[in-house]
Structure 1
């Protein structure tokens, strides 16, 4: 019924289903090429901030997570050009995947995997005294 009065939309966000903080290795499939990027994510509840390291630069990134849906945005600005990456992905375990919208540069797809650091356990020796002391 069109004459029914509606209340305002809810601004409440669904609780995040995962903690996506950390380093993510991202494989991107463009129309005719592939690239490897890196995301460094810090999550605070539903809100995300961090950095997006691409082929040529590192840029700030902001975003949000609602349930298992992640949305991230980074912008690279250069004189005469601006490249925006809007990631829209779904979290499943240690993987985030989905489309990337890049405005005039069309679309791509991505798969991000949580970076796993090597389990190297080596004693670190710090020398005493100034180097090359005589």
Structure 2
């Protein structure tokens, strides 16, 4: 009796907490009703294609993973300090009545632009696509190449 007088009835405090949880549950249901047919995020989907950029004294090297992409479906452009890779990944269609248990491979158009750390020679660019890996070799501009200076 003294506990109820000082702290309120336990049943009131618990019912208040449960009503808060019920309100959150209703909000989540509304959220899933609105976006339920669309994936909130794609599992495994990140930035596509994954890219590594390395350099040596003479050139920058851009390696991009492009499984299932043909060289004819790629568009590569190079500017003063940026490489843009665009294209389309085509995946064969499954049967119309196929039920997915997991779907992580997506088809469609993509575009990725990456900045290079220095100036380049846009006239000296080579690209090769081997086993789903695109390797772009981009020569550095003469002013960006390190120079050996003799100390006297």
Fold shared, TM-score > 0.5 on shorter chain:
no
| TM-score band w.r.t. shorter chain | under 0.3
Q: Which has the higher contact order (CA 8 A, sep 6+)?
A: 2
**Structure (1/2) with the larger strand percentage:** 1
Q: Give the TM-score normalised by structure 1.
A: 0.27
What TM-score does the superposition give when structure 2 sets the normalisation length? 0.25
* Greater fraction helix: 2
Rg larger for: 2
